[in-house]
Chain A
Amino acid sequence: MASVELKSVSKSYGGNPVIRGVDLAIRDGEFIVFVGPSGCGKSTLLRLIAGLVPVTDGEISIGGEPVTDVPASKRGIAFVFQSYALYPHMTVARNIGFALETLGLGRDAVRNKVAEVAKLLKVDHLLARRPRELSGGQRQRVAIGRALVRKPEVFLFDEPLSNLDSDLRMEMRIEIARLHDDIGTTMIYVTHDQAEAMTLADRIVVLNHGVIEQVGSPQELYHTPKSRFVAGFVGSPRMNFSTVAATGIGADWLLSGPGGLRLESHVTGNRSTPATVGVRPEALSIVAPGSGRLDGVLERIEDLGHEHFAYVRLDADNSWVVRLPARPREDRDTKVGLSFRDEDLFLFDESGARLDHAASHERSAAALAQTSGGGIAA
């Protein structure tokens, strides 16, 4: 078990920066998840920690020891790949035990350890098989077993579950969580899957273009994202955004946007001008037209059984998603109102930074819309 520390780590491929000055301190035993859009450098960062690619600049230490120049084999880490990377010509037992063969433990000791790990991962009945005779989920278990048997100080996972179907993903997700609870080893995990990130992580690291946008617990990222990027990345379906026009009234801002949105907000702290508002789909509810904060036309309803998504068009460029526990009574193509609570509103400035605010609405936006004839006709 060990902590991991990155100090202004950078990596470029042929002068093309992929990771730019990343600072990150991972505590001993922590479960860290890297998320970010495709190509943002998640895998590269993981490989830098593993020592599979050399850093261009910066320092890495594991367990307090500098390892920047130490080869991958001596870093005391284990890596689980998206493709599993099992040795195709070896049996499951040999795949798991291969790394122990050179440690001089003796045959029996190796066999015992392999059996123990195989049992833990429920692959003990498959020990004589070869990887190509296994299902995807079984291969994944073997790959984890191979990592586990060496008792590494840090586990690295690169999208380990992305080749599995959704049921199996959920099952393996729970097992990985349990594994972490049991052995308490530091784990660093790359994923595209919101659910994996939210449920597994102690802290999530959001990467964008090779820099860290924000590090925090899933709750922190969900409730207090630092930027529009993070707000849009965490949560599914993603947060609804609309650009607004802001007029300063003393210390406050009057914001107006599509769908007859009209708000007065008091921005605390930072004084920059709000440019975007955001509301999460689950914070919205459908009300009668004119009685909410903004109006639109109910365009589509997706029925997923346990939840429903309503798509409400505010104007030509803006369509918001509403997440509902039950099917809305309103029909398609009818005018509806949307309402949300003040504390569920997010404001972002031109650069995308989130603004702390105390929003209040003087008058009902919908009422305003009715008097001014705003919004869009049904």
Chain B
Amino acid sequence: MSVKLARADRRAAWMFMAPMLVAMLVVAVWPLARTFYFSFTDAYLDDPTNYSLIGFENYLEVIGDRTWWIAVRNTLLFTVVSVAIETVLGLGIALLINQAIPGRGLVRAAILVPWAIPVVVATKMWEWMLNDQFGVLNQVLISMGLIDHGIAWTANGSLIMGVVIFIDVWMTTPFMVLLILAGLQMIPGEIMEAAEVDGIPAWKRFWSIVLPLLKPAIGVAVLFRVLDALRMFDLAYVLAASSEQVMTASIYARNRLISFQELGIGSAASTWVFLLVAFVAILIIGVLRLDRAAGEAP
């Protein structure tokens, strides 16, 4: 291809991308830059034009706040536990759907239902089912004689994090299932048949063949889910508003920004959230890369 043609192509490429790039500049890059900028100021939301630069003071203010650390702890706990459960459960359901059994098509369709339901709606549905007096779960447990009076699932401080995780697992396991299923379907059937004929027991087939071959698919799914869980806002907010027991880092940042009107401090808190997510993302991608590199070595 001639140089002139290549240049024309390049220009065309930028033209085609221009609308998208402009949109990203407006809704992503610019607001992000402004957030960074505000994080170094003492601005308030009611009058954002009146401020002065104060250096890193806001950042120090945030990490000096006990509530921030509670929020960080909650976020990390929530992320680790719910992603771990989702992965195991997603793997189990994916393996189940991958079997030749009656009803697998139905399961495949049904699994998408929790995924499509809005977070707010799912939270309300479970809140109702877990209601201490009238919730169906307590009623069932009582009628089975397991407990004698209803458990206050969503009001009890030590249980509420468990409830948040439980609801999140319900909503996001489908995503895991789909990604792992896609990975499973890429394993050639003859490999599994070879192992079967060779008399490899089922647990060893799973552990030594299926799992290693699924590792890339699981890795990608976990990466997506972890990054999503780290920024979780709506579920905890709808279930418990600003209760400290389930406050996430995102809720903390928004509280400072909107409820307390502290534009500067809220921006600094947001930036900390950003750094947390970026750090974890780099960590996971690094591990995945290492893994792949190790797999390629002779």
Contact = CB atoms under 8 A, between A and B. Distances in A.
Given A83-B188, A83-B190, A102 B197 contact: no
Given A98-B208, A128-B298, A130-B298, A85 B198 contact: no
A85 B208 contact: no
B197 A77 contact: yes
Contact of A52 (B188, B197, B209, B213): B197
B190 A78 contact: no
Nearest to A50: B197
Interface in B68-95: none
Given A98-B208, A102-B204, A87 B197 contact: no
Of B190, B200, B295, B298, most buried by chain A (CB within 10 Å of CB) is B190
A99 B196 contact: no
Contacts, number: 64
B193 interface: yes
B295 A52 contact: no
B27 interface: no
Interface residues of B, number: 19
B198 A52 contact: no
Interface string A33-74: 000000000000000001110000000000000000001111
Contacts of B298: 128-130, 133
Given A81-B190, A102-B201, A102-B204, A72 B196 contact: yes
B212 interface: yes
B199 interface: yes
Interface in A94-133: 98-99, 101-102, 128-130, 133
Q: Is the interface of A mostly helix, strand, loop or mixed?
A: loop
Contacts of B295: 89
A87 B194 CA distance: 9
Contacts of B209: 87
Contacts of B193: 52, 72, 79, 81, 85
B282 interface: no
A88 interface: yes
A98 B198 contact: yes
Contacts of A102: 199-201, 204
A52 B191 contact: no
Contacts of A71: 196
A71 B197 CA distance: 9
Q: Is the interface of B mostly helix, strand, loop or mixed?
A: helix
B197 A73 contact: yes
A88 B295 CA distance: 10
A88 B210 CA distance: 11
Given A98-B208, A129-B298, A85 B188 contact: yes
A89 B213 contact: yes
Interface in A123-164: 128-130, 133, 146, 150
Contacts of B213: 88-89
A51 to B, nearest CB: 8
B295 to A, nearest CB: 7
A78 B198 contact: yes
Contacts of A74: 199
A99 B188 contact: no
Interface string A332-349: 000000000000000000
Nearest to B297: A130
A40 B276 CA distance: 61
A236 B61 CA distance: 88
Contacts of B204: 101-102
B212 A78 contact: no
A368 B297 CA distance: 77
B199 A99 contact: yes
Of B194, B195, B196, most buried by chain A (CB within 10 Å of CB) is B194
Contacts of A130: 298
A78 B193 CA distance: 11
A74 B204 CA distance: 16
A85 B198 CA distance: 12
A87 B295 CA distance: 13
B190 to A, nearest CB: 4
Contacts of A129: 298
Contacts of A52: 193, 196-197
Given A89-B295, A98-B208, A128-B298, A81 B194 contact: yes
Of B195, B197, B213, most buried by chain A (CB within 10 Å of CB) is B197
B13 to A, nearest CB: 35
Contact of A85 (B194, B199, B200): B194
Contacts of B208: 98
A129 B193 CA distance: 23
Contact of A89 (B188, B199, B200, B212): B212
A128 B298 CA distance: 7
Given A87-B194, A98-B208, A146-B194, 20 more contacts: A72-B196, A73-B196, A73-B197, A73-B201, A74-B199, A75-B197, A78-B197, A79-B197, A85-B188, A85-B190, A86-B191, A87-B195, A88-B191, A99-B199, A99-B200, A102-B201, A102-B204, A128-B298, A130-B298, A150-B198
Interface of B: 188, 190-191, 193-201, 204, 208-209, 212-213, 295, 298
14 contacts: A51-B197, A52-B197, A71-B196, A72-B193, A73-B197, A81-B193, A83-B190, A85-B188, A85-B190, A85-B194, A89-B295, A101-B204, A133-B298, A150-B199
Closest 7 CB pairs of A and B: A85-B190, A99-B198, A73-B199, A85-B194, A79-B197, A81-B190, A89-B212
